[in-house]
Amino acid sequence: MSCTFGKVCGDIPGVCIVLQMILVVALSGVLGYMFVTQELMK
């Protein structure tokens, strides 16, 4: 995966991976929450 936080990654390599992991977890969490609420609303 390429890092979009180029400047930050150049200074601290590990930050890029952590940020991407947080982003993926947050997205999956939001999508899961939306899916669950949609199912419960039926």
- Its pTM stands at 0.54
Q: Give mean pLDDT, residues 17-40.
A: 93
Q: Token pair for residue 28?
A: 């999956």
Question: Using one digit for the tens of pLDDT, what is the confidence trace for 24-34?
Answer: 999 999 999 99
DSSP string, 2-33: --S-HHHHHH-HHHHHHHHHHHHHHHHHHHHH
- Where do the domains of the chain lie? 10-41
Question: Whose structure tokens read 């939001």?
Answer: 30
Q: Token pair for residue 11?
A: 């200074």
Q: Average model confidence (pLDDT) for the chain?
A: 81
Distances (CA, A) of 16 to 6, 31, 36: 8, 23, 30
